[in-house]
């Protein structure tokens, strides 16, 4: 069930909200838990049992770690192994078999497993819980309902952001519900929905149109790279906005997951702004335990390469994702060694162009269905495929989507947000506060009309 679906908007969410606010506080977690399990059941009935097993494993291991401190290392290792085995089996078994067949000339049959929705996200959440209990940063949760609510909470269950247990630990036991929080959450949800439905979906249609074109060109490939980079930003940041907004309505304060990444001037800064919950998770639970940058230079480079290789594979069981991760590892290492000093001396426009170039290439690698397609796309972008610079298809697509590209570019920058903040203290602020709810209602109606009329509504991060 997609957030950007009529089923969720008008048949799932309203009764959940009514029931949630109708029951006393002691029953709110149970309402959220049952609603979340039903939400997940609609998307993967069989794999709901896998989710419940993951929750039960984290619950039992948390109690064992807390109760038997002398053997805590054994129990946290058991928790990590079980979680990673489940993730590895369902996500990487066929990938491993296919590579063994290719390497050794075997003919082992593939398992053809369906990837459980959200397994990459909730696995990382259960891992962070047991590790934090082991480190003494969180108390073991005695209530199975509260821990289950944390892991299965439907706003962030399917595609994040990756919410740490320590972020919501106190709010699982007590949280305030205010009209201002509910209004903020509703507004944030509608804005995220608009990002997804009115921008990401249309950019996705452009990418589909590009792949089916009979007159490709160098310029068309670059337009595709720009379109996909913007699509995945609006798709995932829009989902994060919806998750954060829903969380606020229910009294939870999730951390931000995006912070205008395209205004960055370096890859280092880009990854402080893009998918923040994933980057900080790998930093705290993999990079720092490996020694981080407190080791010799060779080991430090190895740490960066390993972390980003794993980050790439986390996104999917394919070599193009691994290459994508190592690609970023290369630039991050180079920046930390000497490039950052050079970038800081360059004019802002040049350092910003460097970042955009690196990111556009990265998402071409990311979206390729194979290494061969990745090579073909990059060759075409740099004029190595005997393609014309432009074509009639290219010019038609550019004219037809010029407004969309302009809106997307403006939307990924903080210009409108800063303008709104500057007008707030002035006389126009009162008019803005009065018109904002009306504007959000109109935006919701437009999104609804598009969902009724349109059929193209994928969510990219479901496949991860």
How many angstroms separate the CA atoms of 245 and 287, rounded? 30
How many angstroms separate the CA atoms of 86 and 91, rounded? 8
How many angstroms separate the CA atoms of 334 and 351, rounded? 14
- Answer positive or negative: Cα dihedral of 162, 166, 172, 174: negative
- Report residue 360 as tokens: 């556009």
Close Cβ partners of 221 (under 8 Å, ≥ 6 residues apart) = 377, 380, 381, 387
Torsion of CA 67, 70, 73, 74, to 10 degrees: -80
Angle, alpha carbons 105-107-109 (nearest 5°): 145
Of 177, 253, 275, 315, the catalytic one is 315
Close Cβ partners of 317 (under 8 Å, ≥ 6 residues apart) = 91, 92, 94, 95
Among candidate residues 330, 320, 327, the one with its CA nearest the CA of residue 372: 320
Whole-angstrom distance between the N-terminal and C-terminal Cα of the chain? 16
Any alpha helices (H) in 116-175, and if so which ranges?
119-135, 144-152, 154-157, 165-173
For the CA atoms of the chain, what is the radius of gyration? Answer: 23
Q: Which residue has the tokens 């940063």?
A: 137
Q: How many helices (H) and strands (E) does the chain have?
A: 22, 0
Any alpha helices (H) in 164-317, and if so which ranges?
165-173, 179-194, 201-211, 218-249, 267-273, 276-282, 297-315
Q: Residue 79 in contact with residue 57, Cβ under 8 Å? A: yes
Q: Residue 188 in contact with residue 241, Cβ under 8 Å? A: yes
253 is catalytic: no
- Report residue 416 as tokens: 């409108």
How many angstroms separate the CA atoms of 20 and 14, rounded? 10
User: Which CB contacts under 8 angstroms, 24+ apart, belong to 347-351?
Assistant: 348/265, 351/265, 351/266
Close Cβ partners of 68 (under 8 Å, ≥ 6 residues apart) = 75
The residues assigned a catalytic role are 315
């Amino acid at each position: 069930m997609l957030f950007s679906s009529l089923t969720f908007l008008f048949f799932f969410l309203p009764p959940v909200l009514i029931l949630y606010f109708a029951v006393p506080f002691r029953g709110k977690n149970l309402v959220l838990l049952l609603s979340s399990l039903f939400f997940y059941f609609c998307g993967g009935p069989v794999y709901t049992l896998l989710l419940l097993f993951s929750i039960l494993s984290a619950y039992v291991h948390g109690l064992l770690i807390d109760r038997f401190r002398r053997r805590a290392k054994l129990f946290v290792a058991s928790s990590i192994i079980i979680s990673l085995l489940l993730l590895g089996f369902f996500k990487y078994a066929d990938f491993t078999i296919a590579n063994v067949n290719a390497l050794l000339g075997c003919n082992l049959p593939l398992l053809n497993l369906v990837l459980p929705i959200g397994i990459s996200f909730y696995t990382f959440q259960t891992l962070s819980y047991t590790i934090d209990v082991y480190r003494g940063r969180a108390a073991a949760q005695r209530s199975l309902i509260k821990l289950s609510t944390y892991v299965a909470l439907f706003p962030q269950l399917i595609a994040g952001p990756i919410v740490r247990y320590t972020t919501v630990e106190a709010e699982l036991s007590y949280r305030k519900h205010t009209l201002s929080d509910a209004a903020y959450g509703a507004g944030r949800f509608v804005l995220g929905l608009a990002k997804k439905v009115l921008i990401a979906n249309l950019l996705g249609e452009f990418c589909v149109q590009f792949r089916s074109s009979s007159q490709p060109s160098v310029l068309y490939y670059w337009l595709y790279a720009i379109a996909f980079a913007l699509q995945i930003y609006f798709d995932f940041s829009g989902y994060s906005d919806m998750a954060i907004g829903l969380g606020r309505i229910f009294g939870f304060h999730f951390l931000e997951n995006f912070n205008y990444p395209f205004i960055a001037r370096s890859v280092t800064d880009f990854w402080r702004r893009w998918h923040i919950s994933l980057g900080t998770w790998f930093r705290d639970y993999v990079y720092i335990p490996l020694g981080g940058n407190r080791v010799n230079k060779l080991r430090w480079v190895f740490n960066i390469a390993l972390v980003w290789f794993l980050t790439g594979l986390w996104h999917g069981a394919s070599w193009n994702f691994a290459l994508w991760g190592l690609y970023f590892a290369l630039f991050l290492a180079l920046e930390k060694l000497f490039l950052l000093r050079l970038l800081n001396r360059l004019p802002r426009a040049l350092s910003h162009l460097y970042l955009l170039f690196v990111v556009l290439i990265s998402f071409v690698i990311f979206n390729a269905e194979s290494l061969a397609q990745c090579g073909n796309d990059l060759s075409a972008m740099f004029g190595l495929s005997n393609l014309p610079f432009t074509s009639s298809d290219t010019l038609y697509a550019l004219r037809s989507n010029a407004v969309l590209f302009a809106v997307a570019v403006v939307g990924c920058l903080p210009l409108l947000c800063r303008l709104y903040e500057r007008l707030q203290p002035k006389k126009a602020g009162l008019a803005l506060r009065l018109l904002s709810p009306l504007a959000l209602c109109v935006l919701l109606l437009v999104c609804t009309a598009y969902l009724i009329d349109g059929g193209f509504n994928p969510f990219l991060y479901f496949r991860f």
